Structure 1
Amino acid sequence: MADLAADPNADVDVEQAAAAFGSLADENRIAILLALWAADELSFAELQSAAGFEDSSRFNYHLRKLLGRFVEKDDDRYRLRAAGAKAIDIVVDERFGDTSEPVDLALDAPCPDCGSALHARYEDDAITVECPDCDCVVHLGYFPPRGRATRDPEAFLEAYARRLWRDFTLAYEGTCPRCSGRTSTRVEIDPDWHLDLPAVSDCADCGTSIGTTIGLRLLADPAVVAFLWDHGDAVDGRPFWEFPFCIDDADAEIVSEEPFRVVVPIERGGEVLRVTVDRSAQVVETARVTNRDVRRE
């Protein structure tokens, strides 16, 4: 058996994968999948009509190329298999047409390096949260064109922030947001990037790696949620980049090597929540203190 932990792609049969993608390389077959995606299930005649075929022999030829991998037949009714639905998700998400309108908006969040307002920029399906004055980049990500095409810039950024909050929480709790595989999270102490103590989640099944501040992973912790709520902040009501501890880890501190412990301070309204996490970024202790108590320490 292949060692997937060492090579997450070791069990991919490239010949079978190429054959499967080859089955999709025809506009007639994409039309068939789209028709099923829109109608759930159809008879042969209904599917032929919905996909725009006049010649039943030609329709049958293309349908057979999809049967088994992407389309299933049951009691003379045709429906998408899971792989067919995923294929159409890609088609609809990407649209493969004109690119979405770019976005460049100032955010209600200061740059952790210079204090200027951060900007969110979206172009060619990629989003960047960065400082236009000092070139500090605090986030890079992807958002499908479909999500941008139907929203104004403000609503688009709100949707993106909600999606990222979900993805980071999933990864932190052991589920890969990309493939639903198994993730494990660790705190890196000598990273080769802009954060000092990032929380990095790796998927054992697809190889995806997600790195963020430890603070961003804490937005699902009950003590953190309650602390922010007590100070008038709803976690799911604000983009993560408006919480300083989610985009910068300058205040995070290693307080113990054995056992390994990092404290992340979260400050609100004259009070600080000191969150202690272990090597896997799991919370082991929280304590509320006043700013005056912190200074005395």
Structure 2
Amino acid sequence: MVDSDLPSSLGVGTGAAGPHAVEAFALLGSETRLSILLALWDEYDPHTNDNTVPFSRIFERVDHDDRGNVSYHLTKLKGQFVQQHTERGGYELRETGLKLVRAVIAGAGVQDVELPPTEIDQLCPFCESPTVISYRDGVLFHTCTECDGTGQAQTDTEGFLSAVPFDPAGLADRTPEEIRAASTVAALRQVQSLFDGLCPACSGPVESRLECCPDHDPSGDCEHCGRRFAVWAQFQCRICKNHSTTSPKSLVLFHPAVISFYDDHDVSTRIRADDSESVRRVFGLMDDHEMELASRDPPRVVVRVVREETVCLTFDETADVVDVYR
């Protein structure tokens, strides 16, 4: 967890986002400007060092009858999203422009896509009943058809097992099992980056902490915390508020000692978006990890990974690994 003050140049004290964000949104309030960005994207080749597009080609692609109007809007985009190369005689997208167009291409905030509850070939880790996935509001839900899942403390979804922010483009040309596998890869990458102290959304610093229920009922959905597990790790970006909540039982999969431990026992911890079996295997590993609350004040959690031998990791109150022994 980072304790130092944020650079004053970010303007955090001026509001939730700051004047630069307001200016950026204002620049996008034009269909012509968005068309220009998409025209530059169409010409973009990630495998070349020169993606300069001459104005004449931008004008043709925008399909506008007023060259002066297109030039005006292109000038407004310069600096923030577009870079002009006078010596090359053209324009190209800056990294900020690329990120914006990729968000549009992915469907974030553009497409209203839904997937009704669809059964997949994966049983509930708690009751071994069938599970289903569904998609709404840019989130892929995984739920059990019979039990309460992990608990409904922070969701109104019955049988809740997980909820993963997932772009609509991720649903294209994939079976339900493949969608589930791809969303799991996305979720684990997000958590790993946050666990490593880097926000995957904005590259900002991350605050992390362990939370534990002081009077946890381990028999099921605890009436005090509403969760199945007594301990969980919480992460939040200090800049963009990107966040995630997960169990330390899953965090150990990112530690080199555990990866090496499993490798020594010929078990792969790798998960792939095109391999549904890898999802079942890795979730089986996480389910088998043993977790013990060693201390409440300050919080200390020990997670054990057992094969013929055992490796143990201890997490402190900041959800950081402070001890490893095997």
1:139 aligns with 2:162: yes
Cα distance in 2 for partners of 1:108, 1:242 equals: 12
CA contact (8 A) 2:212 2:296 kept: no
1:149 aligns with 2:153: no
1:171 aligns with 2:194: yes
SS of the residue corresponding to residue 227 of structure 1 reads: helix
Report the counterpart of residue 305 of structure 2 in structure 1.
266
Task: Kindly provide the CA deviation profile for residues 165-207 of structure 1, in whole angstroms up to 9, marking residues without a partner as x.
Answer: 2211111111112211111322212384523111112322223
Task: Kindly provide the CA deviation profile for residues 47-70 of structure 1, in whole angstroms up to 9, marking residues without a partner as x.
Answer: 111222343123223223322322
Equivalences for residues 1-297 of structure 1 within 5 A = 9-12=12-15, 17-39=21-43, 40-75=51-86, 76-94=89-107, 96-97=110-111, 99=113, 101-102=115-116, 104-112=118-126, 114-136=127-149, 137-190=160-213, 192-194=225-227, 195-237=229-271, 238-239=278-279, 242-244=282-284, 246=286, 251-256=290-295, 261-268=300-307, 272-287=310-325
CA contact (8 A) 2:37 2:101 kept: yes
SS of the residue corresponding to residue 270 of structure 2 reads: helix
Inter-CA distance 287–108: structure 2 relative to 1 (3 Å threshold):
farther
Segments of 5+ residues of structure 2 without an aligned counterpart are 44-50, 150-159, 215-224, 272-277
Inter-CA distance 14–262: structure 2 relative to 1 (3 Å threshold):
closer
Task: Kindly provide the CA deviation profile for residues 243-283 of structure 1, in whole angstroms up to 9, marking residues without a partner as x.
Answer: 3564698x421224577532113344x65443333333333
Segments of 5+ residues of structure 1 without an aligned counterpart are 289-297
RMSD value, Cα: 3.2
Task: Kindly provide the CA deviation profile for residues 92-125 of structure 1, in whole angstroms up to 9, marking residues without a partner as x.
Answer: 111624526556233434332x332433332342
Higher alpha-carbon deviation: 22-31 or 238-247: 238-247
SS of the residue corresponding to residue 135 of structure 2 reads: strand
TM-score normalized by the length of structure 1 = 0.80
Inter-CA distance 97–199: structure 2 relative to 1 (3 Å threshold):
closer
Cα distance in 2 for partners of 1:34, 1:197 equals: 46
Q: Which amino acid aligns with 2:100?
A: A
SS of the residue corresponding to residue 122 of structure 1 reads: strand
Q: Which amino acid aligns with 2:147?
A: C
Q: Which amino acid aligns with 2:95?
A: A
Task: Kindly provide the CA deviation profile for residues 228-247 of structure 1, in whole angstroms up to 9, marking residues without a partner as x.
Answer: 33444311132278535646
Inter-CA distance 140–193: structure 2 relative to 1 (3 Å threshold):
farther
Aligned length: 282
Cα distance in 2 for partners of 1:186, 1:92 equals: 35
Q: CA deviation at 1:226?
A: 2.6
The sequence identity of aligned pairs, in percent, is: 30
Inter-CA distance 280–205: structure 2 relative to 1 (3 Å threshold):
same
Higher alpha-carbon deviation: 164-173 or 193-202: 193-202
Cα distance in 2 for partners of 1:259, 1:141 equals: 30
CA contact (8 A) 2:210 2:299 kept: no
Report the counterpart of residue 294 of structure 1 in structure 2.
none
TM-score normalized by the length of structure 2 = 0.74
Q: Which amino acid aligns with 2:260?
A: A
Q: Which amino acid aligns with 2:254?
A: A
Higher alpha-carbon deviation: 97-106 or 127-136: 97-106
